[in-house]
Structures are given as structure tokens and as C-alpha cells.
């Protein structure tokens, strides 16, 4: 069983990275892996409650995030400094996560077999 981390760093809208990262987690869920996801930098906006994408003419994916656990991605970490720098708190996040510091994220990264950046 491989340990795989999905490292999300990009904003949820304006590029395809956030959506593709989510799709890859769901695809990898079909295999027997130990998976986790990290949200840092502008990717923390992907987790923000109350997103409405109708004005930008795209389908939102916030409603898909709660199924990550069902697909085997049971650990979701958020970088504390990234939240704070963007004026967000734990109350702004739409799904259950663990908020950790950069040193902890670095430790988790070192424990992985594969880190896939998005």
C-alpha cells in the first residue's frame, strides 16, 4: 500500500489545477492506497463555505469535497499560516480538516511514498 499526499496550492477558480487535483484523488480512491490531502496557499479558498460560482459561469466543486473520505482520503490538512494570511479561520472551512503548521506538513510529506502537487 502506497502512501500518497495530494498537495493543493492553487486557487479553486481561474485554472484547472484544483478541479484536476480533486479528480485525481477520486481516481486513486479506486486503488488500495493510504491517501491524504493538504491545502495551502490559495488552495485554502477551495474549502471556503458558501462559494457561489454562478457569476463566473462555472460549476463549483465544493459539494464534492465531503466524499473524499468515502474515496479513501481520510486525512485532510490545512496550513494554518495560509488560512491566517487570507483572513480565514477554521469556521470558514466547509468540511472537517486538521489545521497544522508548516513544520507538521513537512513532516507528513517526508513520510509519503508519493507527493502529487496541484
Q: Residue 45: which CATH number? A: 3.40.1260.10
Nearest to 41 by CA among 104, 93, 102: 102
0.75 exceeded by the pTM?
yes
pLDDT in tens, 52-93: 777 776 777 777 888 899 999 989 999 999 999 999 999 999
Strand positions, DSSP E, the chain: 3-8, 34-39, 73-79, 98-100, 114-117
Q: Which residue range(s) make up the domain with 88?
A: 3-117
- Rounded Cα–Cα distance for residues 118 and 113 (Å): 17
Number of domains into which the chain is organized: 1
Instruction: Answer whether residue 48 shows pLDDT above 80.
Output: yes
Amino acid at each position: 500500500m502506497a502512501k500518497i499526499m495530494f498537495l493543493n496550492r492553487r486557487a479553486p477558480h481561474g485554472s484547472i489545477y484544483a478541479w484536476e487535483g480533486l479528480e485525481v484523488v477520486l481516481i486513486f480512491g479506486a486503488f488500495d492506497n493510504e491517501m491524504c490531502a493538504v491545502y495551502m496557499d490559495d488552495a485554502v479558498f477551495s474549502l471556503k463555505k458558501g462559494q457561489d460560482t454562478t457569476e463566473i459561469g462555472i460549476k463549483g466543486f465544493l459539494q464534492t469535497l465531503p466524499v473524499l473520505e468515502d474515496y479513501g482520503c481520510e486525512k485532510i490538512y490545512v496550513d494554518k499560516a495560509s488560512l491566517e494570511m487570507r483572513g480565514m479561520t477554521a469556521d470558514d472551512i466547509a468540511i472537517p480538516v486538521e489545521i497544522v503548521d508548516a513544520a507538521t506538513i513537512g513532516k507528513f510529506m517526508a513520510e509519503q511514498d508519493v507527493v502529487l502537487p496541484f
